[in-house]
Amino acid sequence: MTPKKRKNNNDGDRLAEYRGRRDAGRTPEPVPADRAAPRGDDDTFVVQEHHATSLHWDLRLERDGVLVSWAVPKGLPWSPDTNHLAVRTEDHPLEYATFEGEIPRGEYGAGTMTIWDAGTYETEKWSEREVKIVMRGARVSGRYVLFRTRGENWMIHRMDPPADPGAEPLPESVRPMRPVERARLPRDQGAWAFEFAWGGRRLAAYVEGGRTRFTDDRGRPVDGPGGLGSRLGAALGSRPALLDGEVAVLDGRETYLIVDLLHLDGHPLLDVPYRERRERLDGLGLSGPTWQTAPWYPGDGAAVRDAAAAQGLPGVVAKRLDSRYEPGGESDDWRFVPAASANRSQ
């Protein structure tokens, strides 16, 4: 997401630059023929999620007949502890406040545009270098200030306390929990769930603001598979999450197989039972060309182990349904059982 340099409008037509970048015959975006005319109450805002070259969010504020717009790469900050970059872009027509759709490839801003939030706002201050507002929407609520730094770059700062007082930032690093090796499956299989052991390398993914960073099985920063970070970030959108998984080769392609969810929407899940963590992970619907939510099977370890052996996989990992996540620890609540084992009970 790199906006082109904005042009100066000397004729008073605040939508001239907007129209100059768009072909009304090719894009579904509203392209009014006339210049903006002041109307409305200067109290509408919209935040649009824009899956363009890189995922970002567009904040638009109604002002003097147009939507004054900023591209915010990481979304609006939820806490006053962090400022986010906001790049001033061209003014948009008021009709854009309800626009959702697919901007065709080859057109300016090509990609999918959806409304992430909308509502009303009050202006506390509006100048060339500072805009102070109070927003009231379904997902965004509170006092924010946009302030200019240099060129077209601004920053956006939340002035109120955190929107969710109990929210916590993603941890810097979490070492993965490890299973102990056992020759046999658990005896009380109804209390367990079973996953395939893929034989890959462990990789934790920290996803926030459409971006992703990774750590290895020792908690050290590492690069993920090429292209995975931005695509996984786009799949989660504005939802911060910490994923546990492993990179393995499936059908000749390196794939990130997600097996656990350790943090979501500002809330750690380490003490949440495994069953609930997996249900929340399934609810995210994470599946793409190079990433998948790995399957899990409550109760029937023998069938999973037989399937693992048939596919040439190392074995299965049995996990107690009520187990918590113990970072960096080896726990008997998780057990690796080799596929070659002939015994089916402990």
> CA-CA distance, 223 to 201, in Å (whole number)?
12
Rounded to 10 degrees, the C-alpha dihedral 140/293/199/272 comes to 60
Quick one: residue 170, left, alpha or beta (phi over 0 = left, psi -120 to 50 = alpha)? Answer: beta
User: pLDDT confidence of 37, banded at 50, 70, 90?
Assistant: low
- Closest C-alpha to 191, from 83, 299, 271: 299
Query: Look-up: residue for tokens 């994923």?
Result: 243
Its sign, for the CA torsion 42, 44, 50, 56, is positive
168-218: per-residue pLDDT in tens? Answer: 999 999 999 999 999 999 999 999 999 999 999 999 999 999 999 999 999
Amino acid at 342: A
For the 178-338 domain, the top CATH level (class) is alpha beta
- Give me the pLDDT at residue 340, please: 82
Q: Is it the case that residue 58 has pLDDT exceeding 50?
A: yes
Q: Is it the case that residue 50 has pLDDT exceeding 90?
A: yes
Its sign, for the CA torsion 186, 291, 200, 211, is negative
- The overall average pLDDT reported for the chain is 92
101-131: per-residue pLDDT in tens? Answer: 999 999 999 999 999 999 999 999 999 999 9
User: pLDDT confidence of 343, banded at 50, 70, 90?
Assistant: very low
Quick one: residue 219, left, alpha or beta (phi over 0 = left, psi -120 to 50 = alpha)? Answer: left
- Give me the pLDDT at residue 1, please: 45
The residues spanned by each domain of the chain are 15-158, 178-338
Encoding tokens for residue 207? 């996803």
Buried b (16+ CB within 10 A) or exposed e, 212-249: bbbbbeebeeeebbeebbebbbbbbbbebbbbbbbbbe
User: pLDDT confidence of 344, banded at 50, 70, 90?
Assistant: very low
Percent of the chain past pLDDT 70, that is, above it, reads 94
Global confidence as pTM: 0.87
Secondary structure (3-state) at 217: coil
User: pLDDT confidence of 300, banded at 50, 70, 90?
Assistant: confident
Secondary structure (3-state) at 22: coil
- Give me the pLDDT at residue 12, please: 79
User: pLDDT confidence of 39, banded at 50, 70, 90?
Assistant: low
- Give me the pLDDT at residue 163, please: 86
What is the DSSP secondary-structure string of 314-344? -EEEEEETTPPP-TT-EEEEEEEEETT----
How big is the CA angle at 331 (ends 192 and 294), to the nearest 5 degrees?
A: 50
Buried b (16+ CB within 10 A) or exposed e, 253-272: eebbbbbbbbbbebeebbeb
Instruction: Report yes or no: 154 and 148 within 8 Å, Cβ to Cβ.
Output: yes
**DSSP strand E in 52-169: where?**
55-63, 66-72, 84-88, 92-93, 101-103, 111-126, 130-137, 141-150, 153-158
